[in-house]
Copies of this chain bind each other. A is one copy, B any other.
């Protein structure tokens, strides 16, 4: 291959899928094999599966993010801090806010957006745990509500201490797990009686974590209810306003006054993907088995923007960090094969679901590992921290684990 005509590999997004693809390529390809460019809105990568902890204020947001320069070698990969505006796959170009890039091979790893299903006021008035900026905004907003409480006339105060979480999926439950740890600290900090604080979880399905093992779900619900969480199951949010939410269950409508509503009930792929002309379902591209976008030999999609069907149950795999990281392995290997002209080495992506652990604050959790083994309590909480640290190891080795890892096991 002519080193003067090294192909341009452009990676959009430095989330789990994009950054891990970049790191894999950095390890696989020699400096002269390709020009690799990584584009990201921020100069840091963040762990979206830890954001709920930053939002609750139980860990600092700096532990959640990693400077991109700490894991990318600048002699192998160019980093461009910019925001993607649109992709033009016909002309093989990417339009950025401050420029344009041409590619030979493209990796789309632009992540998720909140899906509000058109519910009135949700986009405007509810918070979502979407990124570092929004997570620390939620943290500060909660603190601010506590700080205001003792400065308000009696009749105006209750809604300041009512916190609504929309959705009892993974994010909702894990966020509530952090809040039940955090709320007593805040009560102490701001001289407020714990009994004044309400934590309400509204979920449209009849059970939290639909599809998850029922015994584990009950464990999580019991744990959270004992710590003051009120579950409103089978309940739909009709509207959100600065004053709170309106919900309905079996045609009964109720208003819940709350200054804090966190929407954690739906994600979709980045809307840039559909705006760029790819065929999507909720912003996600139904990828080929080798992770390429249908009809585009040179475009790979990884992470939350990729839709992959689990043939066993004929339903999409949930968009998790675990799968995004595994996709990055296959995607990097396939790009390396293409760069080297060895098309026959293109692999199919085969997810390997090692387990799913849902944290319930710092010192409790529940989940399934090794296919069917249930874990609860301390054991599960330790396993969750091992999973979190394992990713850091994969991304940046021991030094990154020591810098950003969850090392206080108890």
Instruction: Give the distance to chain B from A354, nearest Cβ to Cβ, in Å.
Output: 34
* A238 contacts chain B at the CB level, 8 A cutoff: no
Per-residue interface assignment for chain A, residues 136 to 158, with 1 indicating a CB less than 8 Å from any chain B CB and 0 otherwise: 11011101101110110000000
Q: How far is the CA of A133 from the CA of B137 in the complex (A)?
A: 21
A263 to chain B minimum Cβ distance, whole angstroms, is: 14
**B134 adjacent to A140 (CB under 8 Å):** no
Q: Does A296 contact B (CB under 8 A)?
A: no
A140 close to B137 (CB less than 8 A): no
**Closest residue on chain B to residue A44 by CB atoms:** B191
A409 near B: Cβ within 8 Å? no
Residues of A89-148 contacting chain B, CB below 8 A = 133-134, 136-137, 139-141, 143-144, 146-148
Contact of A147 among B141, B150, B191 (CB under 8 A): B141
- Assess whether A190 is interfacial by the CB under 8 Å rule: yes
Chain A at the B interface: SS class? helix
Contact A137 B147 (CB under 8 A): yes
CB-CB under 8 A from A191, the residues of chain B are: 133
A127 CB to nearest B CB, Å = 9
Does the CB pair A148–B137 fall under 8 Å? yes
Q: Nearest-CB distance from A375 to chain B (Å)?
A: 35
Chain B residues lying within 8 Å of A148, measured Cβ to Cβ, are 137, 140
A194 → chain B closest CB, angstroms: 17
CA distance A190 to B190 in the complex (A): 23
Nearest Cβ distance between residue A82 and chain B, in whole angstroms? 16
Partner among B133, B134, B143, B150 whose Cβ is within 8 Å of the Cβ of A143: B143
Interface string of A173-210 (1 = CB under 8 A from B): 00000000000000000110000000000000000000
Min distance, Cβ A58 to any Cβ of chain B, angstroms: 16
> Is the CB–CB distance between B147 and A140 below 8 Å?
yes
Alpha-carbon distance A99/B137, docked complex (angstroms)? 43
List the B side residues contacting A147 at CB < 8 Å.
Answer: 136-137, 139-141
Q: How far is the CA of A150 from the CA of B139 in the complex (A)?
A: 14
**C-alpha gap A178/B151 in the complex (Å):** 23
Instruction: Give which listed residue, B141, B150, B151, contacts A144 with CB less than 8 A.
Output: B141
Of listed A134, A148, A191, residue having the most chain B CB within 10 A: A191
The residue of chain B having its C-beta at the shortest distance from the C-beta of A65 within the complex is: B191
- Using an 8 Å CB-CB cutoff, how does the interface string of A56-73 with B read, 1 for contact, 0 for none? 000000000000000000
- Taking a contact as CB atoms under 8 Å apart, the answer to whether A144 and B133 are in contact is no
Residues of the B chain whose Cβ atoms lie less than 8 Å from the Cβ of A133: 150-151, 191
Q: Would you mind naming 13 contact pairs between A and B with Cβ atoms under 8 Å apart?
A: A133-B191, A134-B151, A137-B147, A137-B151, A139-B147, A140-B140, A140-B143, A140-B144, A140-B146, A140-B148, A141-B144, A141-B147, A143-B143
Interface residues of A, Cβ cutoff 8 Å to B: 133-134, 136-137, 139-141, 143-144, 146-148, 150-151, 190-191
In addition to A133-B151, A140-B140, A140-B148, 18 A-B residue pairs with Cβ atoms within 8 Å of each other are: A133-B150, A133-B191, A134-B151, A136-B147, A136-B190, A137-B148, A137-B150, A137-B151, A139-B147, A140-B143, A140-B144, A140-B146, A140-B147, A141-B144, A141-B147, A143-B143, A143-B144, A144-B144
